[in-house]
Amino acid sequence: MTDTAPAGAWTTGRLIQVDRPSDRLVRLRFHVEDRVDHWPGQHYVLRLRAPDGYTAQRSYSIASDPHDPLLELMIECLPDGEVSGFMHDVAEVGDEFELRGPIGGWFTWTGEQPALVVVGGSGVVPAVSMARYAKRLGLTDRLRVVAVARTYDELPYAAELERYGAFLALTRENVGARVAHPPYPDELVPLAEGVERAYVCGSVGFASFATRLLGEVGVRSDTIRVEQFGATS
Amino acid sequence: MPVTRGFFGKRRDAGERADRLPPGQYDTGQGWPTLTAEVTPHLVPEQWTMTVDGHVETPTTWSWREIHALPASSYVGDIHCVTTWSKFDTTFAGVSVDTLLEAAGPRPEAAYVMAHSTTGYTTNLPLADVTGGKAWVVWEYDGRPLPVEHGGPVRLLVPHLYFWKSAKWVTRLELMVKDRPGFWEQNGYHDRGDPWLEQRYQGDP
């Protein structure tokens, strides 16, 4: 691996596959012209253009493995979301979109360090790219994923993450003997052992919770990379 | 670029404020999204200091109490984040960067500034972008102490550039002869970051 993250210019993505795994999620798979291979954890900007030239653009984390022939995004539909709502309600197979990416050189994992990834809600998306990458390259022993959601059905990619051995912490649903609760420190201790880097992705409130939790189990704060979204009011 | 099938845009209601929205931005309204790459630090104001050094005549450090004794200065206006939200009519208060530079005395060869945060975050700016009443070190937002998730107790404010240039938890301005990339600038973002020119990423004009 070179030490500079790849970056791509504006290009066109044709929508090849769309599905809506829940009423709040839309999974989009694009064929991207002149695609630049990404690193797991990077993102793309998706831009919509109206007939009068008005545009709206947002950044979305990549879910796909770099070797996937298509680029996959999983977008959570936000209340009144101008881009997410359009992709959820209107976008169809065959539509073309302006895409720019990959972008970002910080929240990336390319397998060199043993890492613990703590993600919440739609923040799981970059962890999915990392886990798919780890699976393909046989690096699964270097990547531990903790995915937090209210219920199993609300967690994007829940079944796939489970197959990769991720620990799913559900806060509103009991799983076997585990009573609904955010992850406890003692659940993270074995996962944090020996990690040299940690990643946190989720809402502002989740990121604050997860970084505190990582601190409690002995992960140094200067090894934690954070990606958070959403607003404070 | 082709039009997106079926897209007409929802957020056309900026009305009289439409001309205050740079290209590709939307009005976030009352919300204030946050963008942070590192663990949010919890600084004790009494242990925080602000330093101006590098290519200056008199490297100077102020304590929390000393910087509050400097002439107060405030900003009322809009802020723009590279993640495409803009927030109208914000109010920040603190001290003008001009006041700090006046004390430290930039040497004639100084042309750039690296802002350093307590977390190790850095961002680079042309000196001309932090002088002439364009930049502040602020500790108040909307008349209250700046919230920690927005950089409290103290952050840099350079509102005419994308907001990653307004380093949270700022502790040092280093004056430099040559430009060098800061944290996001090493990670694909633009060296200057003018929202009106849409200088979001490296390679933008």
Residues A73-104: pLDDT tens digits?
999 998 888 999 999 999 999 999 999 999 99
Tracing tokens 């914000």 back to the chain, one arrives at: B90
- CATH code for the domain in which residue B104 is found: 3.90.420.10
pLDDT computed for residue B14 by the predictor = 58
Q: How many helices (H) and strands (E) does chain B have?
A: 3, 12
Tell me the three-class secondary structure of chain A, residue by residue.
Answer: CCCCCCCCCEEEEEEEEEEEEECCEEEEEEEECCCCCCCCCCEEEEEEECCCCCEEEEEEEECCCCCCCCEEEEEECCCCCHHHHHHHHCCCCCCEEEEEEEECCCCCCCCCCCEEEEEEHHHHHHHHHHHHHHHHHCCHHHEEEEEEECCCCCCCCHHHHHHCCCEEEECCCCECCECCCCCCHHHHHHHHCCCCEEEEEEEHHHHHHHHHHHHHCCCCHHHEEEEEECEEC
Residue A211's H or E segment, with its range, is helix A204-216
Residue B150 lies in a domain: yes
Higher pLDDT, B31 or A145: A145
Q: Which residues contact B71 (CB under 8 A, 6 or more apart)?
A: B95, B96, B99
| Ramachandran assignment for A164, one of left (phi > 0), alpha (psi -120 to 50 degrees), beta (any other) | alpha
Q: Is A229 within 8 Å of chain B by CB? A: yes
Minimal Cβ distance to B40: which of A90, A105, A208: A208
Higher pLDDT, B34 or B82: B82
Q: Where are the domains of chain A?
A: 10-103, 115-229
Q: Is B40 within 8 Å of chain A by CB? A: yes
| Local structure of B128: helix, strand or coil | helix
CA dist B25 and B22 (Å) reads: 6
pLDDT computed for residue A231 by the predictor = 65
Residues A137-176: pLDDT tens digits?
999 999 999 999 999 999 999 999 999 999 999 999 999 8
What is the extent of the structural domain holding B179?
49-197
Residue B93 lies in a domain: yes
Residues A13-25: pLDDT tens digits?
999 999 999 989 9
Stretch A171-183: mean pLDDT, rounded? 95
| Local structure of B165: helix, strand or coil | helix
Residue A97, strand partner residues: A13
pLDDT computed for residue B107 by the predictor = 98
pLDDT computed for residue B29 by the predictor = 86
pLDDT category of residue B13 using cuts at 50, 70 and 90: low
pLDDT category of residue A233 using cuts at 50, 70 and 90: very low
Residue B31 lies in a domain: no
Q: Which tokens is A47 given?
A: 């831009």
Residue type, A166: A
Tracing tokens 């979305």 back to the chain, one arrives at: A60
Minimal Cβ distance to A106: which of B12, B37, B202: B37
Residue B19 has pLDDT above 80, yes or no: yes
Q: What is the rounded average pLDDT for all residues in chain B? A: 93
pLDDT computed for residue B11 by the predictor = 65
Stretch B112-134: mean pLDDT, rounded? 97
Residue B86 lies in a domain: yes
Residues A43-75: pLDDT tens digits?
999 999 999 888 899 999 999 999 999 999 999
Stretch B174-178: mean pLDDT, rounded? 98
Tracing tokens 């360090």 back to the chain, one arrives at: A113
Residue of A231, A228, A77 whose CA lies nearest to A156: A77
End-to-end, the C-alpha distance of chain A in Å comes to 41
Angle between helices A185-192 and A204-216 (to 10 degrees): 70
What is the DSSP secondary-structure string of B16-77? GGGGGS-TT-EE-TT-EE---SSPPP---GGG-EEEEEESBSS-EEEEHHHHHTSPPEEEEE
Residues B88-113: pLDDT tens digits?
999 999 999 999 999 999 999 999 99
Residue B52 has pLDDT above 80, yes or no: yes
Minimal Cβ distance to B203: which of A9, A97, A224: A9
Task: Select the residue from B1, B5, B7 to test the A interface by mutation, using most A Cβ atoms within 10 A.
Answer: B7
pLDDT category of residue B203 using cuts at 50, 70 and 90: confident
Contact A225, A198 (CB under 8 A): yes
Residue A1 has pLDDT above 60, yes or no: no
Q: Is B202 within 8 Å of chain A by CB? A: yes
CATH 2.40.30.10 fits A10-103, yes or no: yes
Q: Is A58 within 8 Å of chain B by CB? A: yes
CATH topology of domain A115-229: Rossmann fold (3.40.50)
Lowest-pLDDT choice from A123-127, A187-191, B22-26? B22-26
What's the pTM? Answer: 0.88
pLDDT computed for residue B31 by the predictor = 84
| Local structure of A161: helix, strand or coil | helix
Residue A195 has pLDDT above 70, yes or no: yes
Backbone phi and psi for residue B136, each to the nearest 5 degrees, phi listed first: -140, 160
Q: Is A221 within 8 Å of chain B by CB? A: yes
pLDDT computed for residue B202 by the predictor = 86
CB contact under 8 A, B28 and A47: no
Number of domains in chain B: 1
Stretch B132-149: mean pLDDT, rounded? 95
pLDDT category of residue A27 using cuts at 50, 70 and 90: very high
pLDDT category of residue B36 using cuts at 50, 70 and 90: confident
Tracing tokens 């502002």 back to the chain, one arrives at: A204
Stretch B38-53: mean pLDDT, rounded? 92
